[in-house]
Structure 1
Amino acid sequence: MFRTALRNVLAHKARLLMTTLAVMLGVAFVAGTLVFTATLSEAFERSSQKGYEAVDVSVQPDWSTGGGGEGSEEADGEPADPELALTEGLLEKLRGVDGVASAFGTATGTVALADKDGELVGDGWSTFGNNHAAVDGGQDPRYDLRDGRAPRRAGEVALDSRTAERTGYEVGDTVRLSVDGPVREEKVTGVFDTDDGFVAAGGVLVLFDTATAQKLFASPGHYSEIILAAEGGVTQTELKERVEEVLPRQAEAVTGDELTAVQARTVESQMEGMRTGLLVFAGISLFVGSFIIANTFTMLVAQRTRELALLRAVGAGRRQVTRSVLIEALVVGTVAAAVGLLAGIGIGAGLRALLGALDLTVPDGPLVIPPNAVVAALAVGIVITVLAAWLPARRAAKIPPVAAMSSVHAVATPRGLVVRNTIGTVLTAGGAALVVAATGMKDSEALMGAGAVLTVIGVFVLTPLLSRPLIAASAPLLRGFGVSGRLARLNAARNPRRTAATASALMIGLTLITGLTVIASSVQKSIDNMAAESLRIDYVVSMATPSYLSEEVEKTLENREDVTALTPMRSSYAEFGGEYADLFGVDADSFGKLTSLEFTQGSSEELGDGKILVDSGIADANGWKAGTSLEAEYEDGERGELTVGGVYRSNEVFYGALIDTADLDPHLGKIESMQIMLSVQGGASASAKDALAKALGDNPAIQIQSEQDISDKAAGEIAIMLNVLYGLLAMAVIVAVLGVVNTLAMSVFERSQEIGMLRAIGLERLGVKRMVRLESLIISLFGGVLGVGLGVFFGWAAGELLAGPITTYELALPWDRLALFLALAALVGILAALWPARRAARMNMLTAIKTE
């Protein structure tokens, strides 16, 4: 039987080609994902290890100790704020600890650098500044100067070599940069190399002299971190224990090995998310491929009815016949998995190279082929193929020996179809009920996911039943194609199980694509609604980096005559009776002019003079209402009396407690804003925006966005996300196309005698081609209609979950996209039929008539 199985594989290798390709693509996706993420992980881990080579012990603020605001002290005289714990005095004390070979402090923060065209370098979220610590003969052990010298005074900076190369800056050039809003012009005195992982991934690193960096990123005389190197013979653990004896309560010591381990875990966690996401799409491709495998082996078994029955007649048992078909699947799966593994390794290497071509560089490192990639590729390819072939193998074993004397085997019984339809109805109804029920519940993502899976399975089981009325509905459209159109419809309906399995592969891909598109369109609509309902502004000013805007930016805008109303938005917190709440400072005089919040009690006019506005969630949780008197403890530890002036419904922009800046600013160590909202004379316009930008020094670090800009930016980000998801789902669609091609090709072979007879009685070659193409079109559109319908349903359901946190959420059906998806389904059908139709038309009619 083993030899028989091998002969069958070799005899039908052309018919098994599409199945092999489908499995190979899915396996390549899995292997490529594992190779790519393992390569990235290894590269970043090596880079982080190099970055910590000069670190034996790191002294950092211990944020778990809490503390008050700037300048506050505890009873022992130590600063209560951990941010102020790392002082020059502590650095000198640490240098005197036994076993410390060298010690230096670092001051780190975010910096926005402009290129020679005035555009922001990098994405703004991976652009950092640091100090150059002169330790070993005036050099910083973390950085190797390639050209020039280190910065020594204010007005001087050094750039990392990667940034210098891509911007064209050289020693002696003047660069424009910003830390918290105001533009700074600095002279480049040096270019250095670094192993910093953020720089390797496309970020920017700018070095200042220590005094300047402290002023910008910490405070004068203070550091963000103190790095210690141990003397020979002193371990990191020993040095850490000695250092802890002299540390204040607000600081903690961490060894270099611990930092490396934390960094490795961070990298692994980030890669895990990417790996999981990619593997999900690989799984979708393999799931779609399983339909092709099952369909292929079902058709092969049907075409070999006499052969398998004859085997039974000469003594082969049912198990032997089952094993024979499964061995064929095993051979196909092994070959496909092996080829897929090699292709996956190539995909991993290609993606690594693609990142470099897109300037999304990663640290240098070898291509990593982890053992799990090899095991997963082989296991997935073989297991999926064998499992998908199991049902056809069981059907093969049930072929009675008497079938060897007949040209066909018994078709499915009405009882079998009734059972299938009953099971499909129960699964579909139950799954849909779970999905609908989940829309009205909190934290019901898992329930909705389970319902969606049951619904898809149920629809798949029901597709033979659904195919008949949907295919029958195409009759009026096919009449215009004459005999070819009628034959195409009858052929598509002849074997509903085969048609259903072929259409289901395409259905799954379109379900996901449609669902994602509906959700994305609805989210975009909600963003537009949010801006229209809660804001009456012309512009929002914010930093392109994670920094806050300095008070200088706010004053610059306040002093402009064309600014009619302005409110900053400061971030803080306060404790109310043991419960902490977000506290946002806004300008009481302008806030009501720039916003249109929905109030359940009071109004925005009540804001100021010790009165605050709170969102309804906080108010309901604490039993507050307008007029309630509260005792608040601010972030600096000071206490004060506040009164609830109004209760409003929160949204994505405004939530928590809103307080007048006049009441909040005295409790802030540093006056800075998350963003500034304003209106200008004449409303938003290109000239008004240019005037604001010019007033702020044409600063690349500052974003000036109108409501339309905010909407367009969100739309762009959503479009990028959708395009990435479409690209990932394209693999599943390609596999589905292979399924249509495979089904048609084998169907043409199965109907060779019939096609020969049609040719003999006068059907021209063009008519045969048209018949096969229309059959493919019907099957593809059947899958497309089911996919779009399910996608809209799941998109609506997922949107109902989003409607809770996104109060302005509104379902938006992108009719143009939905029509495009159906058109693409039709195109898939036309393209998939090209080769089978050509093959059918070129058959020799006499040879075809003699085919059995």
Structure 2
Amino acid sequence: MLRTALRNVFAHKARLLMTMLAVLLGVAFVSGTLVFTSTISEAFHKSSEKGYADVDVSIRQENGDAPQGRSTVSPLSQRTLEKAGRLPGVASATGVVSGFAALSDKDGKLVGDGFSTQGANYYAGGDGKGTDPRYPMKDGTAPRAQGQIALDAKTAERTGYQVGDTVRMSVNGPVRTEKVTGVFTTDDGSVAAGGTLVLFDNATAQRLFAKPGEYTEISLKADPGVSQAALKERAEKILPADAEAVTGKKLADDESKAIESSMSGMKTSLLAFAGIALFVGIFIIANTFTMLVAQRTKELALLRAVGASRRQVTRSVLIEALVVGAVAGLAGMAAGVGIAAGLRAVIGNMGAMPDGPLVIEPSTTLVALLVGIVVTVLAAWLPARRAAKIPPVAAMGALHAPASTRSLVVRNTIGALLSAAGAALVLVATKMDEGGKGPMGLGAALLLIGVFVLTPLLSRPLIAAAAPVLRMFHISGKLARQNAVRNPRRTAATASALMVGLTLITGLTVIAGGVQKGIDKMASDSLKADYTVSMANFTPLSPAVEKKLAQSDEITATSPLRNAQARIGGNTEYLTGVNGSTIGKLTSLDFTAGGWSGLGSGQKIVVDDTTAKNKGWKVGSRLQVTYEDGAKGQLTVGGLYKGNEMIKGILVDSKAVTPHMSQVADMQVLAKTKDGATGAVKDSLEKQLGDNPAIKVQDKKDISEGVAQTINILLNMLYGLLAMAVIVAVLGVINTLAMSVFERGQEIGMLRAIGLDRRGIKRMVRLESLVISLFGGVLGIGLGVFFGWAAGELITGAGLDTYSLVLPWGRMALFLALAALVGVLAALWPARRAARLNMLAAIKAE
């Protein structure tokens, strides 16, 4: 039986090629993802180790949670640095201070957009005359005074800046003009990932990112023979309040873990789409083995007649699947390595990752091989089992053993139950808010599988609906329709491969359209302001920006959104400081009780209804408040409003919180102009702010387009990933048609003999392919719309109340056209092969 199985594999190499390609593509995606993510993780890990090579112990403040626009880091003093430098076993102590610093390129655009854009100090020792070993100068000299900076070598190369050039940059809003005095090299992981690092002299960096004479971190280098653990123990004796000592090894490990954690989402997404491709591939593999087994029914029956048991027949087919899976798995692993190498080269050329070798872990090879084998064997198990159950006498009497009525009834019953359970679970999940994600995912999977099981039943009425169109093609159209429903199971398996891909594509498009419309409505409903002003990467914005805007003749009202920490009722809360006298002109919030009245006095607050409900507050509630500097006060709830993703939380007049803040910074500034939002006004405001690349001046349309751009980028990435499933589906259609042509050789020869010409044969095969593909497309788009609606209900319950269902008719028409194109392209080779059959040889063949 083993020899028979191996002989069958080698005897049907062409027939199994498409099956191997389907498995190969899925395995390549899996192995490529694993190799690529391992390579990136290892590269960043090595980069982290290099970056902390000169740090044996770091003294730093413990960070707490802070809202956007606020920092809880309390800088370390010069005195602590001097104490650390005198510790036994310390070779050197370096004061570190850093923060956001946006650099403009020669075209005025932000450099490192989307990556880390950092500024730091060049620590030249206590006397300011030494060198900083962290940043060796490649060209020029280190910054020694205000107005001087040094750039990392990669940024200098990308921007074309050289020593002596003048650059424009920003730290927290206002534009600064600095002179480049030096270019340095660094092993900083964020720089290797495409970010920028700008160095200031120590005093300037302290003034910008902390306070004069204070640091955010102190790095210690140990004397030879002193371990990091021993030095950490000594450093702990001089720690100020709320500070900690951490070894360099732990810092490198933590950074490496953070990188792995940030990449886990990408890795999971890529593996999910690889799984989808493999799932689609299962249909093709099962279809292929079903047809191969059907073509060898007499052969298998003969084996049974001469003594082979059912188990041996099943095992024979599974051995074929194992061989195919093993070969496809190894080939897929090799293709995956190529994919990973290509991705690394592309991202490396973009400067978005450090250099490093391609990492191929033994577990990746094992996973690729196992995936190929397990998927293929599982897909072949049902056809093998079905073949073994056919009685030898029945098998010898007919080439095809039709499915029994009982088996079809059982299949339809199971499909109906799965579909009903899945649909019910999805509908229940839409009412469960955020807790409904798991049940909805399970329900969607059950419904998708249920529809797949029911597809043979659905194929007849849906394909029959195409009969009026097919009649236009006369006998070729009639034959194509009959051939499409002749074997419902085969048609179902072929169409389902395309159905899965289009279900996901359509569902994602529907969700994206609804989110986009929801964001548009939220912006228009909650904002009266013509413009919002913020930093490009949403870091804290200098209060000077709001003052500058308020002085403009074109501005009629402004208000900051300024976060401040306070304690209310023993709990830490974050107050948002606003201009109490103008905020009502800049926002359009829906109050459920009370209103803006009295907010400008600094004694009242307005609170979103969710926070108020959780805290048990209502209009008139008096709250005892302890501000950031320890000062105490009392605030009264003056209004409750419906919060949204743009404006929510506790709003208070900025006069009440600003005097108590150690660092005053805004999240953003709202502004209303005389002439409304126009291109000329926007250009004027940007000029008044110094054409600063680090500052975004956005109207409602810009906010919406920014969200739309992000959504479109994500959608395009997802479309690209799902294209793998569509490619696999194309292979499935080709595979099915090619084998169908082989099976119907006698029939095609007879049609040719009674007068159907080659063009009619080609048209028949193409129309059959088109009908099957459109059948899968209609099912996929229908399911996608349902899942998109259900996910939208879940999103609405989770907080985006403005979400509304948007049916992208244009894109759905495009997806249906894509399904039709798949059918046309997939039929090219099988149709040509059918037309070229020798009619006499085909009729004569058994």
Answering whether residue 709 of structure 2 is matched by residue 716 of structure 1, we say: yes
Please identify, of 720-729 and 621-630, the stretch whose mean Cα deviation from structure 2 is larger.
Answer: 621-630
The answer for unaligned runs of 5 or more in structure 2 is none
Cα deviation for residue 124 of structure 1 reads 5.3
- Note the 1:439-588 alignment, pairs <5 A: 439-442=430-433, 443-588=435-580
1:104 is matched with: 94
Q: 1: distance between equivalents of 2:570 and 2:85?
A: 41
Cα deviation, 1:563-598, whole Å, max 9, x if unaligned, reads 011111101233221233331111111111111100
**Which residue does the alignment assign to 1:78?**
none
Q: CA deviation at 1:409?
A: 4.1
Q: What amino acid maps onto 2:78 in structure 1? A: E
For residue 657 of structure 2, what is the aligned residue in structure 1?
664
Contact 2:58/2:217 (CA < 8 Å) preserved in 1?
yes
Displacement of 1:8: 0.8
Task: Report how far residue 403 of structure 1 moved.
Answer: 3.4
2:363 maps to 372
In the other structure, the counterpart of 1:726 is: 719
Shift of 1:260: 1.2
1:410-429 CA-partner distances (Å, limit 9, x unpaired): 31111111111111101100
**Offset of 1:622 from its aligned partner?**
2.7
- State the distance in 1 between where 2:169 and 2:842 align: 77
* Alpha-carbon distance, 1:274 to partner: 1.7
How is 1:729-768 mapped onto 2 (pairs within 5 angstroms)? 729-768=722-761
Offset of 1:137 from its aligned partner? 7.5
CA contact (8 A) 2:75 2:217 kept: no
Q: How much does 1:634 deviate?
A: 1.8
- Secondary structure, aligned partner of 1:219: coil
Match of 1:394, SS state, is: helix
Amino acid at match of 1:21: L
* Deviation at residue 432 of structure 1 after TM alignment: 0.2
The answer on 1:833 being equivalent to 2:827 is yes
Which residue of structure 2 aligns with residue 60 of structure 1? 60
Q: CA deviation at 1:140?
A: 1.2
CA distance in 2, matches of 1:754, 1:353: 52
After superposition, the C-alpha distances for 1:773-818 in whole angstroms (9 at most, x for unaligned) are 0000110011001101111111111111110211211111111111
Structure 1's 428 and 8: CA in aligned 2 closer, same or farther, altered over 3 A? same
Gap change, CA 1:65 and 1:655, over 3 Å in 2: closer
Q: CA deviation at 1:840?
A: 0.4
Q: Aligned-pair distance for 1:62?
A: 2.6
Q: How does 1:6-405 map to 2 (within 5 A)?
A: 6-63=6-63, 83-123=73-113, 125-135=115-125, 138-357=130-349, 359-403=350-394, 405=396
Q: In 2 relative to 1, CA 226–12 (structure 1 residues): closer, same or farther, beyond 3 Å? A: same
Structure 2 counterpart of 1:811, one-letter code = L
In 1: Cα distance, 2:747 partner to 2:598 partner: 85
| Alpha carbons 1:65, 1:250 under 8 Å: kept | no
Instruction: Give the secondary structure class of the aligned counterpart of 1:589.
Output: coil
Distance in 1 (CA, whole Å) between partners of 2:275 and 2:604 is 56
* Matching residue's letter, 1:373: T
Give SS of 1:249's match.
coil
What amino acid maps onto 1:695 in structure 2? Q
Q: What does residue 601 of structure 1 align with?
A: 593
* d(CA) in 2 for partners of 1:64, 1:312: 73
Conservation of the 8 A alpha-carbon contact between 2:297 and 2:396: no
Q: Secondary structure at the match of 1:434?
A: helix
Note if 1:619 corresponds to 2:609.
Answer: no
Q: Note closer, same or farther for the CA distance 1:321–1:65 as it changes in structure 2 (3 Å cut).
A: closer
Q: Secondary structure at the match of 1:121?
A: coil
- The answer to whether residue 699 in structure 2 is matched with residue 706 in structure 1 is yes
Q: Which string of whole-angstrom CA distances, capped at 9 and with x for unpartnered residues, describes residues 250-273 of structure 1? A: 211101011111112112212222
Q: d(CA) in 2 for partners of 1:451 and 1:670?
A: 50
Offset from partner CA, 1:50-71 (integer Å, 9 cap, x none)? 00000010000134699xxx9x
> How big is the shift at 1:153?
0.5
Residues 110 and 545, structure 1, Cα contact 8 Å, conserved in 2: no
| Distance across 2 between alignment mates of 1:364 and 1:133 | 28
**Residue 429 of structure 2: which of 431, 434, 438 is its match?**
438
The answer (yes or no) to whether the contact 1:61–1:82 under 8 Å persists in 2 is no
Instruction: Give yes or no for contact 1:125–1:546 (8 Å, CA) kept in 2.
Output: no
Tell me the TM-score normalised to structure 2 length.
Answer: 0.97
Counterpart AA for 1:176: R
Give the Å deviation of 1:671. Answer: 2.4
Q: Which amino acid aligns with 1:745?
A: A
**Superposition RMSD on alpha carbons, in Å?**
1.5
Which residue number in structure 2 is paired with residue 77 of structure 1? none
Identity among equivalent positions (%) equals 65
* Number of equivalenced pairs: 838
Q: In the superposition, relative to structure 1, how do residues 496 and 404 fare at CA in structure 2: closer, same or farther (>3 Å)?
A: closer
Write out per-residue CA displacement over residues 593-644 of structure 1, whole angstroms, 9 at most, x where no aligned residue: 1111000111223422111101111222233222222111222222111111
The whole-number CA distance in structure 1 between the counterparts of 2:63 and 2:382 is 60
Query: How far off its partner does 1:213 sit?
Result: 0.3
State whether structure 2 residue 795 is matched by structure 1 residue 802.
yes
Cα contact 2:576–2:652 (8 A) shared by 1: yes
Q: Would the aligned equivalents of 1:198 and 1:204 in 2 still touch at CA under 8 Å?
A: yes
